[in-house]
Amino acid sequence: MSATADNISPLPPLYLQLADRLALAIRSGALGHGDRLPSVRQCAREQSVSVATVLQAYRHLEDARLVEARPKSGYFVAAALPPPLQEPDTSAPPADSLAVDVASLTERVMQMAADPHTLSFGAACPAPEFYDQERLRRALTQATRRHRALLCQYPQAGGNESARRAIARRALPWGCSLDPRDIVLTDGTTDAIGLCLQTVTRPGDIVALESPTSFGFLQVLQALHLRALEIPTHPRHGLSVDALALALQTQPVRALLAVPTLSNPLGASMPLGERKRLAQLLAEHQVPMIEDAIYNDWSERDEHRRAVRSFDTEGLVMLCSSFSKTVAPGLRIGWVDAGRFTPALRRLKAALSGGHTTVAELAMADLLQQPGYEPQLRRMRQTIARRVDDARRLIAESFPRGTRVTDPPGGIMLWLELPPAIDSLALFRACLEERICIAPGTMFSATDRYRHCIRLSVGGRWDDAQRQALRRIGAIAGAMLARAALPLAA
Ligand SMILES: Cc1ncc(COP(=O)(O)O)c(C=O)c1O
């Protein structure tokens, strides 16, 4: 069990300083849309930095959607950003914990989201075309050919060693130096979270969560008879550490379950300083945290990839993730390093399951170490960013006035706060009649606070029919708003 807790350097790295200067020039209009940036070599000469630093700065700006690379022509300031849309306020959930009951609505939405005849904005999962299926096929075929005898043996406890080493290497850019021996492979992040919760809580205990939160988390809490204490959450900066501090003083919170990077459904990412403060707060109160890092590699910013775990000096942060969003959800390979709770969690895992398919774990280890994996992640991030911009533009054009929407720095989810007169469950039903699936806000809380909110995922297919469906959701919401206003006018 080992996590680094080094200090944050006061000055950002050179490439970020350069990227910040260029971003300022773009935002101030000094560099206009479509303008060509100096060539990489010229910029290196002018700024007295290396070519590699300039390239890193340009790529950073590209990931932030401020510039675009044109083959053989260089880097250009990107086309105009989507129109400004107001973002939702920090959430304000009740101060008390609640029992959870979300199962039936969630099952219905997930069933409709998977229906091939539905235009879906419901599931937080990319469409199969999003993944590199050919690379996956090759890795699986090769692993099966080379290691077929392993299919006839029980797997190693904790999971295959090469896979655990590959995972430990992937956690280095998150600021974590994990010991592969402490990593336990799981059936996706969902399994990892269930194991963590069962390790540190008992039925009836209170678990703190972001508000709104992933409906998957609420389902796990419901299954384990745990109570949800929702914590105010900012749509860009994530969980409020101040609000959590207050809750820890007044409630017997047994664990925190949170997604510091690109939370679901808000897409919020906690600033670096808040991550450090959070680790300190947990240490002060000796409260364990389950850190779900499933979206870390989708983040557009390096500082958002830094895990809370990297600031944990007490072994309290149980770091979980999987490759469902980056390699293949169907492989069901996830993992957890449970810090000081590792021995108890490993015993629980061994008692509940005989492990997983070693051949699949070896294929994953191979995929993670291939040189093409990083460029594939970058391509994914860029495709996602373009879609999110496109979707936000369509929302600005077609949703009723007063709609607020998030602007996540990565990820495929948008959270919309509609005018309060719109009931998202009624909107969900009306959209279903036109075979369009959305996720109503009530799925994301044990409270009834988000009845006028919806989550839209843009990870499915993205074509004219899908864009048209997005406009249609806006039109249906507009019609509902107009109807709601009628009795008042009469
Ligand atoms: C925050 C979060 N955690 C976990 C999961 C499920 O992950 P896995 O497929 O690894 O079980 C999801 C899926 O959408 C998610 O959004």
Mean pLDDT (whole number) for 403-414: 94
Residues 6+ apart with CB under 8 A from 352: 195
Tokens matching residue 42: 């010229």
pLDDT attached to residue 418: 97
pLDDT attached to residue 98: 87
Q: Ligand 1 mean position to 136 CA, how many Å? A: 20
Q: Ligand 1 mean position to 27 CA, how many Å? A: 35
Mean pLDDT (whole number) for 86-104: 87
Q: State yes or no: pLDDT of 19 exceeds 90.
A: no
pLDDT attached to residue 255: 98
Atom 16 in ligand 1: residue holding the nearest Cα: 264
In one-letter notation, the amino acid at residue 212 is P
Per CATH, the number for 14-77 is 1.10.10.10
Tokens matching residue 19: 């990227």
pLDDT attached to residue 487: 56
Q: 103-129+374-483 has which fold?
A: Aspartate Aminotransferase, domain 1 (3.90.1150)
Give per-residue pLDDT as tens, 223-278: 999 999 999 999 999 999 999 999 999 999 999 999 999 999 999 999 999 999 99
What stretch(es) of the chain map to CATH 3.40.640.10?
131-369
- Ligand 1: residues with CB < 6 A are 124-125, 188-190, 214, 216, 259, 264, 292, 294, 322, 324, 329, 334
- As assigned by CATH, the class of the 131-369 domain is alpha beta
Q: Ligand 1 mean position to 190 CA, how many Å? A: 6
* Ligand 1 nearest-atom number relative to CA 263: 1
Give the mutation target among 130, 189, 319 for probing the ligand 1 site: most ligand atoms within 8 A of CB: 189
Q: Ligand 1 mean position to 216 CA, how many Å? A: 7
* Residue 344 · residue 37 · CB < 8 Å: no
Distance between CA atoms of residues 436 and 122, nearest Å: 9
Q: How far is CA 187 from CA 82, 263, 324, 380, in A?
A: 38, 20, 10, 23
* Residue 5 · residue 312 · CB < 8 Å: yes
* Residue 36 · residue 69 · CB < 8 Å: no
Q: Ligand 1 mean position to 293 CA, how many Å? A: 9
Give per-residue pLDDT as tens, 335-365: 999 999 999 999 999 999 988 999 999 999 9
Q: Ligand 1 mean position to 323 CA, how many Å? A: 10
pLDDT attached to residue 7: 39
Q: 302: number of CA atoms within 13 Å, CB side?
A: 13
What stretch(es) of the chain map to CATH 3.90.1150.10?
103-129+374-483
Give per-residue pLDDT as tens, 367-395: 999 999 999 898 889 889 889 999 999 99
In the chain, the percentage of residues whose pLDDT exceeds 90 is 71
What stretch(es) of the chain map to CATH 1.10.10.10?
14-77
The full DSSP string for 376-415 is HHHHHHHHHHHHHHHHHHHHHHHSPTT-EE---SSSSEEE
* Residue 222 · residue 101 · CB < 8 Å: yes
Give the mutation target among 121, 187, 214 for probing the ligand 1 site: most ligand atoms within 8 A of CB: 214
